[in-house]
Homo-oligomer: A and B are copies of this chain.
Amino acid sequence: VEAEAPSRRWSVQAQKSVQYEIALIDGLLERGHPLLGPSPRPGPARRFVIVDEQVGRLYGGAIRDYFDRESVHCRIFPVAVSEKAKTMDQVSAIAHAVDSFGIDRYREPIVAIGGGVLLDLAGLAASLYRRGTPYIRVPTTLIGLVDAGVGVKTGVNHGLHKNRLGSYFAPCVALLDRRFLATLGTRHIANGLAEILKIGLIRDRRLFDLLDQHGQLLLSERLQGHSAVSDAVAIELLDRAITGMVDELRPNLWEQELDRLVDYGHSVSPTIEMLALPHLLHGEAVSIDMALFTAVAQRRGLLCAAEANQIFRTMHALQLPVWHPLLGRKVLARALAETVQHRGGRQRLPLPAGIGSGRFVNDVAEDELFMAAEELRDLRGPTCLAG
């Protein structure tokens, strides 16, 4: 008989509070923001500003002018961004640059200005630097404004896996300025409208209707509101999209609840997007995924044919794809398996149930998914097969 060995237990319990603001501000680089600079500390204020290369080219002068006016000594650090370059090595390079500039992390938040990839990279660097350094998110793309920019996720790709390494790390503030969208290409506007469409489809019929009725105008005007009407539409669109996103995020900031409506459009798309690199933008892969599960929802009677067609027509008007040659049986099976693994062993697939609300299903067969994909291929016509 084994003698009872000494044993002793301790328990550690703690609560961490997270709080951050999101502010929609037109003309940020003219109007400024207290957290952006100047610093309240005595002595010269300093800011380390991470920008993506394109933002550096287009807005580097305006960013520098802003900090000059505020008497803030800034270092602008441009980062090459692409899904291929979204790596831990880039995070490491950012950390080296922060080291060489030297910041007081309690008074000098890192500023990140750029698209989704830049915000993910800079957010992860800030999250890791000294185990957490405050940072400010300034998204410059539409997808950044309504998605990456308002949440707390950071990440890099690893191997063939999208965002396989990352963290949940809230910014001190997210500053959203649609004026940056003026220099964005149409395809990147469509890319962001895909995530807005997602929010519309799963929880906000009015938001869907705005896209359905004004999609082409929003695309062509880049949400700049050239008329009073289109301005009101652009503002309501952003307001509803961000409100919807924040309402879904707030009770589930760390994604402990695995049934997430905002995962609509994100079930098979992570695999498709990585396999298609660099040909699909994130929102395009999301659109293909939303179309696929719209077809599934229609097959299950959750959407009638008219609703499904209205969704496909809206995607078409927004110049978003509804199908991709990668949607074969084998890739779909693999993508579904990876999602099940990621979601704790269940599918947890959000489907639109009528336009503007969603529900979860856990019993989609591989065959059902493949049949739905085939319907989408027919919808696009055989020319798409060339990819």
A122-130, A202-210, A292-300, A315-323: which lies at the interface: A122-130
A10-18, A50-58, A350-358: which lies at the interface: A10-18
Task: Say whether, besides A88-B92, A92-B158, A167-B128, A19 and B13 are in contact (CB < 8 Å).
Answer: yes
Task: Say whether, besides A164-B130, A342-B130, A16 and B254 are in contact (CB < 8 Å).
Answer: yes
Task: Say whether, besides A15-B15, A15-B17, A9 and B22 are in contact (CB < 8 Å).
Answer: yes
In the assembled complex, the Cα of A18 lies from the Cα of B255 at a distance in Å of 14
Q: List residues 104-137 of chain A with CB under 8 A from any CB of chain B.
A: 104, 106-107, 127-132
- Interface digits, A12-42 against B, CB 8 Å rule (1 contact, 0 not)? 1111111111111111001100000000000
Nearest CB in chain B to that of A245: its residue: B10
A59-67, A235-243, A276-284: which lies at the interface: A235-243
Note all chain B residues with C-beta closer than 8 A to A249. Answer: 12
Task: Say whether, besides A8-B24, A9-B24, A165-B95, A104 and B341 are in contact (CB < 8 Å).
Answer: yes
Is A18 within 8 A of B23, CB to CB?
no
Is B6 within 8 A of A235, CB to CB?
yes
Q: Determine if A153 is an interface residue (Cβ-Cβ < 8 Å).
A: yes
In the assembled complex, the Cα of A379 lies from the Cα of B20 at a distance in Å of 53
A14 to chain B, nearest CB (A): 4
Note all chain B residues with C-beta closer than 8 A to A153. Answer: 131
Q: Determine if A383 is an interface residue (Cβ-Cβ < 8 Å).
A: no
Is A24 within 8 A of B12, CB to CB?
no
A-B contact pairs, 6 of them (CB 8 A): A6-B235, A9-B24, A12-B22, A99-B158, A127-B167, A128-B167
Number of interface residues of A (CB under 8 A): 70
Copy number of this protein in the oligomer? 2
Note all chain B residues with C-beta closer than 8 A to A159. Answer: 95-96, 99
Q: Determine if A381 is an interface residue (Cβ-Cβ < 8 Å).
A: no
Q: Considering residues A5, A10, A132, which has the most beta carbons from chain B within 10 angstroms of its beta carbon?
A: A10
Is B167 within 8 A of A345, CB to CB?
no
Task: Pick the contact of A243: B10, B18, B239 (CB < 8 A).
Answer: B10
In the assembled complex, the Cα of A143 lies from the Cα of B102 at a distance in Å of 31
Q: Determine if A192 is an interface residue (Cβ-Cβ < 8 Å).
A: no
In the assembled complex, the Cα of A99 lies from the Cα of B130 at a distance in Å of 27
A2-B31, A92-B165, A95-B158 known; 5 new pairs, CB 8 Å cut-off, are A12-B249, A13-B250, A14-B17, A14-B19, A128-B165
Q: Determine if A215 is an interface residue (Cβ-Cβ < 8 Å).
A: no
In the assembled complex, the Cα of A36 lies from the Cα of B333 at a distance in Å of 32
Note all chain B residues with C-beta closer than 8 A to A168. Answer: 131-132
A8 to chain B, nearest CB (A): 4
- Interface digits, A338-381 against B, CB 8 Å rule (1 contact, 0 not)? 00011011000000000000000000000000000000000000
Is A167 within 8 A of B167, CB to CB?
yes
